[in-house]
Amino acid sequence: MPDLLLFLKAAVFSVSASAVTVLALMFCRGSADRKAVTSSPSSVILLLSFLTGVCTGYRTLGFSLDWPPGNALARFLEIILPAIVLIELVASLQKLPRAAVWFLRTTVAAVCGRVLWHGSVYLVAESWTGLTVQTALVLVGCMLSLMMVWLLLFRLRESPVAEVLPIALALCIQTGGLTIMLAGYIKGGAAAIPLATSLAAPILMSLLMHRRCDMRGMLGVGIVSLFSLLFIGRYFGALSTMHGVVIFFAPCLSAISLLPIVRRCKPAVTRLLCLALISVPLLIVLWQAESAFDKRMAPLISESPPPIPVTPPAIAGRG
Amino acid sequence: MMCLKTLCRLFLATVVTAGGIASTAFAADEYVYDLVHSSVSFKARHLDISWIHGRFNEVDGKFSLDRQDPTKSTFLLTIKAGSVDTANPARDEHLRQPDYFDTKQFPTIEFKSKSVKAIEGGYEVTGDFTMHGTTKEITITLMGGKEIESRGVKRVGFSTELKLKRSDYNFDKSAIGPIGDEAIVIIDCEGMSK
């Protein structure tokens, strides 16, 4: 049974931790460099805030990390997530050429699915990669989809909707979590809470302070988190392919901001339009997942007994 | 003459050795698990007031029984975790998910014997029990072992009951709520000789 109070606690702690971290780091940077007092939070600050929020959230949820990781969710939390945060941190420090950074990002996209599948029924012992032609094609498809969405969102980082992209990703992650939970995988769904809140909180904090943020790192972390969560939900839980695909590609709707007619609108209107547009498929998915849950799972956790079937009274004097 | 004696001794030694090997080879009878006449079922407490019953429909296994030297007997049982059946498809689907059996990650539940000891009315078998990716050494008491021949097939049957705690096998602690931590597994197994 999902513990709603615990989930709420994790969300609050996660938001608080990432918001406090972003403020503290901005203050520290301001103290160290007078010129930077009025500047925006850098990608490094946002990533560190995200990391703090995520760690706090998972600790509150009681997730324990054992090595070696025993299941797909643990592999995401212990391998994929630290790897992408590290890559984005290195990329934010601008010590590496852009081509090298994209090579690392592509590597993460390429190995992500294989790492999550490790030791599962999807792999075979005969091949050294563990992959068959069919599973290799699935992973190539997943990698191409991930890179496509990543590149599109990266291109939108200069557009008026840049600020809301991590928020849109957070919405998708949370919707993904709820859908996975409604499909029966409670812990997998709960894993979305710290990710979504830690992604949105530092950005909302910066927006409240009217600062422009450097979104690159948060986009990478957000898109890989969304992909991994949906991948785990699809291949280890009971998330449907259709729901997974719709949630994953929903952030692409923010490309509406590239249309000339939308470009003429005020930035605030464009952002709201973008978020509203992304919310539509997410709400449809949630509604469908909830209906399916009611149909399939609700009788298991229902507090009232099922109705007793009424049998017609025996006809007296028959025969 | 010496040469003939040596040859005779060599022949005798060969016969004795071969006989020994043969007796060892034939002492252990091998049996395969008969799915039609066996069952692996379980029950767990619901809200600590009643029991929920379930079974695993796909089980495989084999065992060899050495009547003369029971310590040489072996037992192997492999249960397909995805075949869990509690007479409620929605609950079964939920049980297959990572909150419970995580059948895509851990498709089988396995028992492999390490040592066997004959006791009155059966055997005491110690072995590795692997479930949900965690292996623990357990000792089970197999009662039975009587062999009969039916339609030209040798059959032998065993029964056992064991108590397991889900928390010992790395099951998600938050999923141990209305359904109790402890489960009682009942194995009734019939083996057929090859």
Q: Which residues contact A181 (CB under 8 A, 6 or more apart)?
A: A2, A188, A189, A190
> With an 8 Å Cβ cutoff, are B104 and A122 in contact?
yes
Query: Contact, A85 vs A221, CB < 8 A?
Result: yes
| Overall domain count for chain A | 1
Q: Which of B20-24, B76-80, B97-101, B137-141 has the lowest mean pLDDT?
A: B20-24
Sort out which chain B residues have CB atoms less than 8 A from A122's CB and list them. Answer: 104
Max mean pLDDT among A161-170, A189-198, A205-214, A265-274 falls in A189-198
C-alpha to C-alpha distance for A311 and A159, rounded to whole angstroms: 66
Nearest CA in chain A to B80: A121
- Does an H or E element contain A181, and which? helix A165-182
A37 pLDDT band, cuts 50/70/90, is very low
Residue B12 lies in a domain: no
> Tell me, what's the pLDDT at A41?
62
And the tokens for A74? Answer: 């643990």
Can you give the pLDDT at residue B192? 92
pLDDT band at residue A28 using 50, 70 and 90 as cut-offs: confident
Chain B residues lying within 8 Å of A237, measured CB to CB: 97-98
Structure tokens at A49: 């805030």
Q: Identify which of B90, B99, B173 has the shortest CB distance to residue A299.
A: B90
The answer to whether the Cβ–Cβ distance between B174 and A62 falls below 8 Å is: yes
Number of domains making up chain B: 1
Instruction: Flag whether pLDDT at B27 surpasses 80.
Output: no
Question: Higher confidence at residue A147 or residue A257?
Answer: A147
3-state secondary structure string across A222-280 = HHHHHHHHHHHHHHCCCCCHHHHHHHHHHHHHHHHHHCHHHHCCCHHHHHHHHHHHHHH
Residue among A50, A113, A51 at smallest CA distance from A80: A113
Confidence of residue A212 (pLDDT cuts 50, 70, 90): confident
Average pLDDT score, chain B:
84
pLDDT in the model for residue B125:
94
Burial B41-77 (b: 16+ CB within 10 A, else e): ebbbbeeeeeebebbbeebebebbbbeeebeebbbeb
Contact criterion met (CB < 8 Å) for B98 and A119: no
Query: Which member of B94, B98, B178 has the closest CB to residue A188?
Result: B98
Q: What is the mean pLDDT of residues A199-227?
A: 85
B13 found inside a domain: no
Q: What is the pLDDT of residue B152?
A: 85
Question: Chain A closest CA to B111's CA: distance in Å?
Answer: 19
Distance from CA of B59 to the nearest CA of A (A): 17
Q: What is the CATH number of the domain that holds B34?
A: 2.40.128.110
Two tokens, residue A191: 């894993």
Domain-embedded: residue B6: no
Distance, in Å, from the CA atom of A222 to the CA atom of A196, rounded to the nearest integer, reads: 8
pLDDT in the model for residue A298: 65
User: What is the interface size between A and B, counted as CB pairs within 8 Å?
Assistant: 59
Which residue from A3, A73, A122 is facing B98, i.e. has the nearest CB? A73
Residue B171 lies in a domain: yes
In a domain, B22, yes or no: no
Q: Domain containing A101: what range?
A: 4-297
Q: What residues in B contact A299, CB-CB < 8 Å?
A: 90
Q: Give the mean pLDDT of chain A.
A: 86
Comparing alpha-carbon positions, the chain B residue that sits nearest to A236 is: B104
To the nearest whole percent, how much of chain A has pLDDT over 90?
Answer: 53
* B88 to A238: CB separation less than 8 angstroms, yes or no: no
Q: How far apart are CA A307 and CA A8, in angstroms?
A: 34
Closest in B99, B104, B178 to A235, CB measured: B104
Amino acid B24: pLDDT: 44
pLDDT of residue A52: 94
Does residue B126 carry a pLDDT above 70? Answer: yes
Q: What is the largest CA-CA distance in chain B?
A: 87
Q: State whether residue B180 is helix, strand or coil.
A: strand
A187 contacts on B by Cβ (under 8 Å) = 98-99, 172, 174-175
Whether B103 and B89 have beta carbons less than 8 Å apart is answered as: no
Give the pLDDT mean for B160-170: 90
- For tokens 């000891």, the residue is B117
Q: What percent of chain A has pLDDT over 70?
A: 88
Residue-level pLDDT at A189: 93
In this model, does residue A89 exceed pLDDT 60?
Answer: yes
Q: Is residue B7 part of a domain?
A: no
Q: A72 near A236, Cβ under 8 Å?
A: yes
Determine contact: B99 vs chain A, CB below 8 A.
yes
Q: What is the 3-state secondary structure (H, E, C) of B5-43?
A: HHHHHHHHHHHHHHHHHHHHHHHEEEEEECHHHCEEEEE
Domain presence at residue A9? yes
Q: Is residue A65 part of a domain?
A: yes
Find the closest chain B residue to A70 by CA distance. B133
Which residues of A lie closer than 8 Å to B, measured between beta carbons? 1, 3, 62, 70-73, 119-122, 184-188, 235-238, 296-297, 299-300
DSSP state of A302: -
C-alpha distances in Å from residue B194, one per residue of A58, B28, B64 = 53, 12, 11
Task: Please identify among residues 67-96 of chain B the ones whose CB lies closer than 8 Å to any CB of chain A.
Answer: 88, 90-91, 93-94
A304 is a domain residue = no
Residue A219 lies in a domain: yes
* Pairing of the two strands B50-56 and B84-85: antiparallel
pLDDT at B55: 95
Residue B20 covered by a domain: no
Q: Which domain holds residue B155?
A: 28-193
Q: Three-state SS across A20-89?
A: HHHHHHHHHHHHHCHHHHHCCCCHHHHHHHHHHHHHHHHHHHCCCCCCCCCCHHHHHHHHHHHHHHHHHH
Specify if A192 maps to a domain. Answer: yes
Under the banding of pLDDT at 50, 70 and 90, the label for residue A81 is very high
The predicted pLDDT at position A319 comes to: 37
> Residue B164 pairs with which residues in a beta bridge?
B183
Mean pLDDT of A292-300: 77
Residue A260 inside a domain? The answer is yes
